[in-house]
Amino acid sequence: MPGGKKSNSPIDGIKRLISGRKPSRSGSSPTAASSTSSGGFLAAPQHEHAYTSPSSPTRRPDRPGLNAFSTPSNEPPPAYSLTAHSAKSPDVPAARMSFGGAQNIVAQTADDHYHFLTQIDTVFLIDDSGSMAGRSWPETAKALATITPICTSRDADGIDIYFLNAPDRDEHHNIKDAEQVSRIFDRVQPSGGTPTGRRLRNIIRPYLTKLETDGEDRTKPINIIVITDGVPTDDVEQEIITIAKKLDKLEAPSSQLGIQMLQVGREPDARKHLKQLDDDISAREDIRDIVDTVPFSGSQNEELTADGILKVVLGSVVRRLDRNSTEIHQRR
């Protein structure tokens, strides 16, 4: 700022909250907004324009505490990053921007750490390849059964579940209770390969068509949570590049679409592959960063948990909201 004075504008106040220089008003840890998970996803992002320069890689240095696989998860969710006062509830701060569509997402409120679930469609893509048989399958089913009521209490549409190999069915959509999740996992038996790229394409390309036709104000943002234990048997990297370039072409907000890839199991090649998807693509291809990954960290007692998954997703949403703020500043 000129003269070295600290700006008191609302935007700079927002940035100070993001960087953890002011206490969180959500009741979370004051430094939570800049914390990291064992997979490295809760640090404040670098401020770059999503459409003119690549987003920075999302992996952060490992730190014990926040972990999608811990039981129970032992750290509160990160503080919401963009703070304003809701017009309807003037005393409740919310991570909100005064723009339509994906730019109008409220990540958290003082009373609800997972308020973003009311405004973002939640989709799960589950690896049902043969290697998922055994511990990983019931562990994943349990986590999703626990997540479902958390989501449906905030979004009456429920959640959608896709599998890499099992055919898509009507009953896999708008799932609203844990029993429905259990029935689906009882019916689907792990077998086959790991065509992650093809399934992402099948899910996302129709969504991008709708986004292009209807615009961001009429297209609900989406989070796709991929739970997998192996290396894809197809070219998932190229699909991610294609999707990111399309979003850039449409000038969609950074919060319009996100992919979180969580590893279950102990396959070292899968861990290496996920790290490459997270660290390398955005910078190398000069595209937005739409992928966060959480590799398995190696503990024998780790278990995938609903709370851990939601904290990873929340961290991703908070970072993308921060990028929205940066984009808006640069447009003015």
The mean predicted confidence, pLDDT, of the chain is 71
Instruction: Identify the bridge partners of residue 224 per DSSP, sorted by sequence position.
Output: 123, 259
| Average pLDDT estimate for 83-111 | 41
Among the residue ranges 40-54, 107-121, 154-168, the one predicted with the least confidence is 40-54
User: How many secondary structure helices (H) and strands (E) does the chain include?
Assistant: 8, 7
pLDDT of residue 109: 67
pLDDT of residue 324: 55
Strands (E), 7-148: 84-85, 93-94, 121-126
Q: What is the dihedral of CA 79, 85, 89, 90, to 10 degrees?
A: 130
Amino acid letter for position 201: R
The Cα diameter of the chain in Å comes to 67
For 165-213, the pLDDT digits (tens) are 999 999 999 999 999 999 999 999 999 999 999 999 999 999 999 999 9
| 279: confidence class by pLDDT, cuts 50, 70, 90 | low
pLDDT of residue 234: 92
Asked if residue 32 has pLDDT above 60, the reply is no
Asked if residue 91 has pLDDT above 70, the reply is no
Which residue ranges form the domains of the chain, and what is each CATH number?
A: 2-331 (3.40.50.410)
| Average pLDDT estimate for 138-149 | 93
pLDDT of residue 104: 57
Among the residue ranges 4-18, 78-92, 102-116, the one predicted with the least confidence is 78-92
Asked if residue 76 has pLDDT above 90, the reply is no
Per mean pLDDT, which of 140-154, 202-216, 266-280 is the most reliable?
A: 202-216
pLDDT top residue among 113 and 148:
148
Asked if residue 246 has pLDDT above 50, the reply is yes
| 116: confidence class by pLDDT, cuts 50, 70, 90 | confident
In eight-state DSSP terms, residue 173 is S
Q: pTM of the full predicted structure?
A: 0.67
Asked if residue 278 has pLDDT above 70, the reply is no
Instruction: Identify the bridge partners of residue 257 per DSSP, sorted by sequence position.
Output: 222
In degrees and rounded to multiples of 5, residue 192 shows phi and psi of: 95, -165
Residues with Cβ within 8 Å of 140's Cβ and at least 6 positions away in sequence, in order, are 126, 132, 185, 227, 264, 304
